[in-house]
Amino acid sequence: MPRSFYLVLVVQFISTLADNALLIVSIARATELSSPGWIIPVIKISFTLFYVVLAPLAGPLADAFPKGRVMLGANFLKLCAIGWLVGGADPALAIAVAGLGAAIYAPAKYGLITELLPARNLVRANGFFESVTVSAVILGTVLGGLLISPWMPVWALPVWLPDSGNTSTTLLAGMLVLVAMNALATLLSIGVADSGARYEKHSIHPTVLLGRFYRENLILWRDPTGGLSMTVTTLLWGVGATLQLIVLRWANEALGLSLAQAAYLQGVTAVGVIAGAVLASRFVSLDQATSLLPIGILIGVLIPVMLTIQSMALAIMLLIVVGALAGFFVVPMNALLQHRGCQLLTAGRSIAVQGFNENGGMLAMLAIYALGTALNTSLTILVLTFGSLVALGMTLIYLSPRCRIAIQWTPKGL
């Protein structure tokens, strides 16, 4: 692997760690402001929204400039978002700005991998990348729990900050840690090497962008391998984003944990995810990805098991097992989608299409969860609903004619 790949890994880890810690800090800030319960999924929606809205522009933007420079600008935008939160901004608005930076950042970081590495190394690279990303997602949640815990000092806001009426907070120390992390990610982005890949320039007129993006979606969805892998990742990312919030609620209601303690519990899932991703990167080749679909069914079956658990030890075991299965399954499917997308489109545009669909799935699932929370739906019904979505959805995908065609079409020896 080239040295620039490992630098991208470091930037990805720090940036993603800060993003997910920001989610917990924003939830705590909303609680501090006595916001209603449904605002919690809305905060998550605010972060995800720009992934969908800017998808037609994000891909061409990532391809129009050296991707390291795009990463630099995106991380700086996220740094500004944290600064705005420190200044007393509404947490849903501040995290939306961070989501804007993340939406610009995503096609650049994933596109750079496909530019730096040959196809034969993509599963291995994605094993590293997804291990780092998913671990940062989960450990970022743990870090967020630490940043809102009583262990953090309570500092007064600087006197030069304007009084917006919402600036009084006990979370300043945690927010400043996030400022430092995003500043570090921004500085490291300066050193990301230019892969040398260049693409044909295209118009950025909205009508042209939307028309081309629509055609690019059709190309990837109609391809047997691309369409199958994108269906799987869209379903899993959508449900996974919602389960992150459900696990926080389950830990509180079933195990009696505070928000900070529930955030720590999510960290154990990283152990399983890393193990599964490492095993996939070592033992699964790109042409074997489609054979792993039954694992997706098993993940859906295991989700409702959490409802029977009252013990911390059993909760940890379940989260490790589910994490391992998810890491082993998602890494090859994601690598297959990236490889096929780069063949059919360009690196940046294929990642933008992937991000649009996966984050669209996340928005839909989060909206369902927000509505369920507003209607005071029980945790049992929510868990059974999302577990069934995974199990039944993956079963239908596995039994579909498209799955058989994709298995036949996937080139051997990748």
Measured between alpha carbons, how far is 57 from 202 in angstroms, rounded to an integer? 11
Nearest CA to 372 among 388, 386, 389, 357?
386
* Domain annotation covers residue 189: yes
Provide the domain limits for residue 366.
Answer: 3-193+207-409
Number of domains in the chain: 1
At residue 183, the pLDDT reads 94
Which residues does 313 contact at the CB level (< 8 Å), separation at least 6? none
* Domain annotation covers residue 201: no
* Domain annotation covers residue 302: yes
At residue 76, the pLDDT reads 92
Measured between alpha carbons, how far is 25 from 172 in angstroms, rounded to an integer? 10
Q: CATH number of the domain that 372 lies in?
A: 1.20.1250.20
Q: Using the 8-state DSSP alphabet, how is residue 309 labeled?
A: -
Alpha helices, DSSP H, located in 305-413: 312-344, 347-374, 379-399, 401-409
Tens-level pLDDT at each residue, the chain (414 residues): 667 778 888 988 999 999 989 988 998 888 888 777 778 888 888 888 888 888 788 777 777 777 778 888 889 999 999 988 888 888 889 999 999 998 888 777 777 777 777 666 766 777 777 778 777 877 888 898 889 888 888 776 655 555 544 556 778 888 999 999 999 999 998 877 665 555 666 666 778 888 888 898 899 888 888 888 888 888 887 877 787 788 888 888 888 888 777 777 777 777 787 788 778 877 777 667 777 888 888 988 998 998 898 888 898 888 888 888 888 887 788 777 777 777 788 766 777 788 888 888 888 888 888 888 888 888 899 889 888 988 998 888 888 776 666 665 555 444
* Domain annotation covers residue 202: no
Q: How far is CA 189 from CA 6, 69, 183, 218, in A?
A: 12, 7, 10, 33
At residue 243, the pLDDT reads 79
Q: pTM higher than 0.75, yes or no? A: no
* Domain annotation covers residue 183: yes
Q: Using the 8-state DSSP alphabet, how is residue 43 labeled?
A: H
At residue 407, the pLDDT reads 60
Which residues does 410 contact at the CB level (< 8 Å), separation at least 6? 225, 286, 287, 289, 290, 336
